[in-house]
């Protein structure tokens, strides 16, 4: 096993009387795809929010390459090399695909979007670098043809791909994808799966994915963690998790659509 990139130890998050996460521990291996699955309300989104600094966990620890990053503010987590996409599309409708990707680069940049508007020489240089990086990312993903399109002109699946591309613009080593296949057709899911696999293989990026489509998850993941009512009930290779009686029981007792 490679060294863990991300380690969660005893992560607990309570909202009033609800335990959204209860002492969850697992490791995310560098250069692999780890997926978190579980019925509705299992705590998957809460887990992402704890990792990315949007929630401060009630107790427990998040560490990145051994460094404690628990409850660091979201912008610092981004600078640590963690990027994420959201469950619902979060693209800027008024910007082209290229400009949407460039906002991803600005999250890394020094002068920032606001100063960029005033076009100081430093901001201009940064803008040029961001545009080159955005074009390069689109080319790598085979999406150059949509650079000038507005997100609304694209199919839902393509928009999700743009969001994925924007997350890659942050030069993150760890990319968290929150339901990357939600609302997609089978063809779109296959395309997205292919992109994720290729980025992992060719760029060595580590993925942590929350996804409801179990066959897709089984196909895509090196490692699967199963949550149910905030607790980890299984953790292992896809084959082992698929046959785990506790996992089967958790899914049989839940909404058949998920
Ligand atoms: P889904 O698959 O439906 O997206 P999930 O596995 O992502 O579900 P979470 O959204 O993490 O589950 O929710 C876990 C539990 O925590 C649920 O009982 C939810 O109602 C509760 N919860 C999540 N966020 C909050 C919050 N901000 N305030 C109060 N309760 C919350």
67 and 191 in a common domain: yes
Answer with the one of 171, 187, 217 that is the final residue of a domain: 171
Q: Kindly state whether residue 87 falls inside one of the protein's structural domains.
A: no
Calculate how far, in angstroms, residue 201's C-alpha sits from the geometric centre of ligand 1: 32
Domain of 207 in residue numbering reads as: 1-81+172-258
Whether the predicted pLDDT of 108 surpasses 50 = yes
**DSSP state letters, the chain:** -PPEEEEEEEEEEEETTEEEEEEEEEEEETTSEEEEE-STTSSHHHHHHHHTTSS--SEEEEEETTEE-TT--HHHHHHTTEEE--SS----TTS-HHHHHHHHHHTT-SSHHHHHHHT-HHHHHHHHHHHHHHHHHHHHTT-GGGTTS-GGGS-HHHHHHHHHHHHHTT--SEEEEESTTTT--HHHHHHHHHHHHHHHHHH--EEEEE-S-HHHHHHH-SEEEEEETTEEEEEE-HHHHHT-HHHHHHHHTS-TT-
For the Cβ of 231 lying below 6 angstroms from any atom of ligand 1, the answer is no
Average pLDDT, the chain: 88
| DSSP SS3 for 11 | strand
Which tens digit of pLDDT belongs to each residue from 206-252? 999 999 999 999 999 999 999 999 999 999 999 999 999 999 998 87
For the Cβ of 20 lying below 6 angstroms from any atom of ligand 1, the answer is yes
Give the domain CATH number at 189. 3.40.50.300
Answer with the one of 150, 171, 192 that is the final residue of a domain: 171
190 and 166 in a common domain: no
Q: Kindly state whether residue 43 falls inside one of the protein's structural domains.
A: yes
The total number of structural domains in the chain stands at 2
Calculate how far, in angstroms, residue 125's C-alpha sits from the geometric centre of ligand 1: 42
Calculate how far, in angstroms, residue 28's C-alpha sits from the geometric centre of ligand 1: 22
Ligand 1 pocket test, candidate residues 12, 14, 15, most atoms within 8 A of CB: 15
Position 88 scores a pLDDT of: 67
């Amino acid at each position: 096993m490679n060294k863990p990139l991300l380690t969660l130890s005893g992560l607990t998050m309570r909202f009033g009387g609800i335990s959204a996460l209860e002492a969850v521990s697992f490791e995310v291996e560098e250069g692999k795809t780890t997926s978190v699955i579980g019925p509705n309300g299992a705590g998957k989104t809460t887990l992402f929010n704890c990792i990315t600094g949007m929630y401060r966990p009630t107790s427990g620890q998040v560490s990145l390459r051994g460094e404690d990053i628990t409850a660091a503010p979201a912008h610092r987590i981004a600078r640590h090399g963690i990027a994420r996409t959201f469950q619902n599309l979060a693209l800027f409708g008024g910007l082209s695909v290229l400009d949407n990707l460039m906002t991803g680069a600005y999250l890394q940049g020094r002068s920032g979007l606001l100063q960029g508007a005033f076009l100081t020489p430093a901001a201009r240089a940064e803008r040029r670098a961001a545009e080159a990086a955005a074009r390069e990312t689109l080319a790598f993903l085979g999406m150059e043809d949509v650079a000038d399109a507005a997100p609304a002109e694209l199919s839902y699946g393509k928009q999700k791909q743009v969001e994925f591309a924007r997350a890659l613009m942050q030069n993150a080593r760890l990319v968290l994808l929150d339901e990357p296949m939600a609302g997609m057709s089978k063809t779109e899911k296959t395309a997205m799966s292919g992109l994720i696999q290729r980025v992992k293989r060719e760029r060595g990026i580590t993925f942590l994915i929350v996804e409801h489509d179990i066959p897709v998850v089984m196909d895509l993941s090196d490692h699967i963690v199963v949550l149910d009512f905030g607790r980890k009930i299984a953790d292992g290779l896809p084959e082992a998790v698929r046959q785990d009686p506790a996992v089967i029981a958790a899914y049989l007792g839940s909404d058949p659509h998920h």
